[in-house]
A and B are shown apart, each in its own frame.
Chain A
């Protein structure tokens, strides 16, 4: 299981996709909206690779993201200058592509995190305020 903070994840046998599959099935629209920010967050602790990011998101209860969804996102972030990549030799298998946040990437993470917190607070308050519910006519 990849470590969650500071050091790069271990290269010893990662958990399989089946092992990481969780029962939680969030609406796909919610996951789509939060995936970019959560991916940047998964990289905040230090450089890590594609499957470790997916494992970290799954462990956080966000569900099992497909490789076909994550890698195009990482490619876009790399093009935007938010990530830098580094290929490292693997243990007998293929090499690993490590992604790391650049300074721009950290700034973007900070910006998006604040915006998300503000958005989620507003949403939570709105949902908690029963006065916004339509009143029943007697």
Chain B
């Protein structure tokens, strides 16, 4: 039996069950059952259980009832990212003491990454199963973001619309902080590591603590980056 292939299959099953919001203890139970059966039968996971996606669907395990679904957590993070993207447009005009000038073409290109981020929960499962798709979407968003800066107007005369950058910074900053608080609270409430039966956790205690800290720090990344960006803009004006 190909141990690498078996591990990959089990990892994919864990992802599929996570996408269905199955509790960590039930995922650990399902993984251990598969391992037990494969050890007994000598079969490959595909031969005995089909594809991880089909098997996860066939198991039809109940989702966590009390926790926030994974797609909702991603949506909160996505709101923070959109606010950060808009915040970055306003920092330099704010530091320079002028209005934020926006061109129609600039906004059109900027709408691509914003739409990609807002719609992320809709294609989260598709992208998680196909890393190349996630990379392609990220590349498209980066390219569109870069193109939007090319179309940024040089003066108020070229602008389609001009706004006070302080309002943009304050509003997007508040949204980022609110999204970070909600994301951090749901990350802590949803702390549910995959636990195999017989009391053996699939991850070590250190890894679990590290993962919990990572969730908290990750939730505050956008506000932290924003402060650094704003400070850099103020210092270099």
- B65-90 at interface with A (beta carbon < 8 Å): none
Q: Which of A76-101 contact B (CB under 8 A)?
A: 76, 79, 87, 89-90, 93-97
A11 to B60, CA, bound (A): 29
Q: A68-B50, A68-B55, A71-B59 are in contact. Are A50 and B43 (CB under 8 A)?
A: no
A66 adjacent to chain B (CB < 8 Å): yes
Are B58 and A68 touching (Cβ within 8 A)?
yes
Of all chain B residues, which has the CB nearest A16? B42
Query: Is the C-beta of A75 less than 8 angstroms from some C-beta in chain B?
Result: yes
Give, as a whole number of angstroms, the nearest-CB distance from A92 to chain B. 10
Q: Please measure, in the bound complex, the distance between the C-alpha atom of A96 and the C-alpha atom of B54, giving whole angstroms.
A: 23
A72 to B34, CA, bound (A): 12
- In chain B between 29 and 75, which residues have their CB closer than 8 angstroms to a CB of chain A? 29-30, 32-37, 39-43, 48-50, 54-55, 58-62
Instruction: State which size class the interface on B falls in.
Output: 20 to 34
Q: Is B201 an interface residue (CB 8 A)?
A: no
Known: A94-B39, A97-B197. A72 touches B59 (CB 8 A): yes
With A72-B60, A93-B39, A97-B197 as contacts: A66 and B49 at CB distance below 8 Å:
yes
A16 in contact with B41 (CB, 8 Å): yes
- Contact in complex: B58, A87 (CB < 8 Å): no
Chief secondary structure at chain B's binding surface: helix
Residues of A contacting B198 in the complex (Cβ-Cβ under 8 angstroms):
87, 89, 95
Encode contact with A along B77-109: 1 for CB under 8 Å, 0 otherwise: 000000000000000000000000000000000
The answer for the CA separation of A87 and B198 in the assembled complex, in Å, is 6
CA distance A72 to B13 in the complex (A): 14
A15 → chain B closest CB, angstroms: 9
The answer to whether B32 and A95 touch across the interface, beta carbons within 8 angstroms, is yes
| Cα separation A71 to B36 with both chains bound (whole Å) | 12
Q: In the complex, A10 Cα to B30 Cα: how many Å?
A: 22
Can you sample 21 A-B contacts with CB below 8 Å?
A14-B40, A17-B42, A17-B48, A49-B36, A50-B37, A50-B40, A51-B36, A67-B37, A67-B43, A67-B49, A68-B48, A68-B50, A71-B33, A75-B59, A75-B60, A79-B62, A89-B198, A90-B39, A94-B35, A94-B36, A97-B32
Chain B interface residues toward A at CB < 8 A: 29-30, 32-37, 39-43, 48-50, 54-55, 58-62, 197-198
- What residues of chain A have their CB less than 8 Å away from a CB belonging to chain B? 14, 16-18, 49-51, 54, 66-68, 71-72, 75-76, 79, 87, 89-90, 93-97
